[in-house]
Amino acid sequence: MTFDLKIILVEPLYQGNVGSVARAMKNFGFYDLTLVNPCELKMEARAFASHAYDVLEGAKIVDTIEEALEGSDVVIATTGITGLKVDEHIRMPPYTPRELKEKFSGTNGTVAVIFGREDHGFTNEELKLSDVIASIPTSEIYPIMNLSHAVTIILYEMSQITAGENCLADGFDLRLLYEHIDEVLDDIDYPAHKKEKTHLMFKRIFGRAQLMPREVQTLRGFLGKVQKHIK
């Protein structure tokens, strides 16, 4: 029974930040780092990693977020821009790092936390890949934190999680559930322009609810029965 944390940096721009993140990870006992299409990593990254060069050298380097997320049961995206309510299903509601800790205490599974680029964060398309949104409460005057500082806060909270009995639903099964929901939306001629938002709403609700494996199966059974009656 373990709680595994994967840290994923999406297209980090500065090698010093990547090294600093590796150091913070080792400080809090985490080792699973994945870099999506990162900047060049040379001496500066190593200098900032200090005694965590093993975490830096062990980092997986991949081309896409999708590859990075393989094997994760839950995907948490961290974003600094919580004031924006441009599309509330994309960004809302955000959890604080403390709430994340409370939410995942007593669970077991693999949780990925993804961090966006230093300058532009995530695209909306990228945010849609996440089940849960997290945001660090900062001053409105200057909310944009250094990347490694933001990672450090998340790690500080997540390091206080103790794994427990509650098994998180398998990420693969969840993807099947979301595909199933899309099928049903098609079956009931759901308005095309609302489909994506509603898909995302379900994802956010189930993300917050932390579905258990059995609940995923029951939901799929329910959807199957709905489909049978439609046809």
Asked whether the bond before 12 is cis by omega within 30 degrees of 0, the reply is no
Site for a second copy in 30-69 (CB under 8 A): 48, 50-52
Options 37, 108, 138, 217; binder of a second copy; rule CB under 8 A: 138
Region label for 206, one of left (φ > 0), alpha (ψ between -120 and 50) or beta (otherwise): alpha
Q: Does 160 bind a second copy (CB under 8 A)?
A: yes
**Is 33 in contact with 22 (CB distance < 8 Å)?**
yes
Which range touches a second copy (CB under 8 A), out of 3-11, 17-25, 86-94, 205-213? 17-25
Identify the CA nearest to 150 among candidates 3, 24, 19, 10: 24
Looking at beta carbons only, is 51 or 175 nearer to a second copy? Answer: 51
User: Total number of residues binding a second copy (CB under 8 A)?
Assistant: 29
- Does 103 engage in binding with a second copy (CB under 8 A)? no
Q: Does 137 bind a second copy (CB under 8 A)?
A: yes
The answer to the question of residue 158 lying near a second copy (CB under 8 A) is no
Binding status of residue 142 toward a second copy by CB under 8 A: yes
Give residue 64's identity as a one-letter amino acid code.
T
How far apart CA 20 and CA 41 sit, in angstroms, is 12
CB 64 within 8 Å of CB 71: no
Distance CA 145, CA 23 (A): 17
Asked if 54 and 32 touch (Cβ cutoff 8 Å), the reply is: no
C-alpha angle with apex 93: 90 to 98, nearest 5 degrees?
125
Tokens of 31: 């080792």
Q: Which of 4, 11, 13, 27 binds a second copy (CB under 8 A)?
A: 27
> Which is closer to a second copy, CB of 19 or CB of 207?
19
Cβ-Cβ contacts under 8 Å for 59 (sequence gap 6 or more): 18, 22, 33, 34, 35
| 2 vs 139, beta carbon nearer a second copy | 139
Per rule CB under 8 A, is residue 199 in the interface with a second copy? Answer: no
Single residue of 1, 61, 144, 176 touching a second copy by CB under 8 A: 144
Q: Does 20 help bind a second copy (rule: CB under 8 A)?
A: yes
CA distances to 6, 226, 227 from 114, rounded to whole Å, are 8, 35, 35
Q: Which one of 37, 156, 178, 213 is in contact with a second copy (CB under 8 A)?
A: 156
Q: Segment near a second copy (CB under 8 A), from 124-132, 137-145, 172-180, 198-206?
A: 137-145
Residues at the site binding a second copy, with contacts judged by CB under 8 A: 20, 23-24, 26-29, 48, 50-52, 97, 136-139, 141-146, 148-149, 152-153, 156, 159-160
